């Protein structure tokens, strides 16, 4: 049985369902194995435990929100 392990920061239930569905569909298609054989595991990591360029997810989200706010027409 193929096993797919996906690690990410906090995800909504909707996002997890979509990931499971699409990871399974694409993998089954590529490997030519029935979807019923796939096992998918999503491991959520706390946002403060995931970082890029020395900044955790909370910091990155705050920076992105600030950029969006400053580029929005007033």
Residues 45-68: pLDDT tens digits?
998 998 999 999 999 999 999 999
- At residue 74, the pLDDT reads 62
- At residue 10, the pLDDT reads 85
Count of domains in the chain?
1
Read off the pLDDT band of 9 (50, 70, 90).
confident
For residue 8, the domain's CATH number is 3.30.429.10
Q: Which segments of the chain does DSSP mark as H helices, in order? A: 13-31, 57-71
Please give the model's pTM, rounded to 2 decimal places: 0.72
Domain encompassing residue 52: 3-71
Question: Token digits for 68?
Answer: 């969006």
Is 90 exceeded by the pLDDT of residue 73?
no
């Amino acid at each position: 049985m193929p096993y797919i392990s996906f690690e990410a920061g906090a995800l909504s239930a909707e996002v997890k369902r979509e990931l499971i569905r699409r990871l399974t569909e694409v993998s089954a298609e590529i490997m030519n194995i029935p979807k019923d054989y796939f096992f998918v595991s999503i491991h959520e990591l706390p946002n403060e435990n995931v970082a890029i360029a020395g900044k955790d997810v909370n910091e990155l989200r705050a920076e992105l929100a600030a950029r969006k706010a400053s580029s929005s027409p007033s």
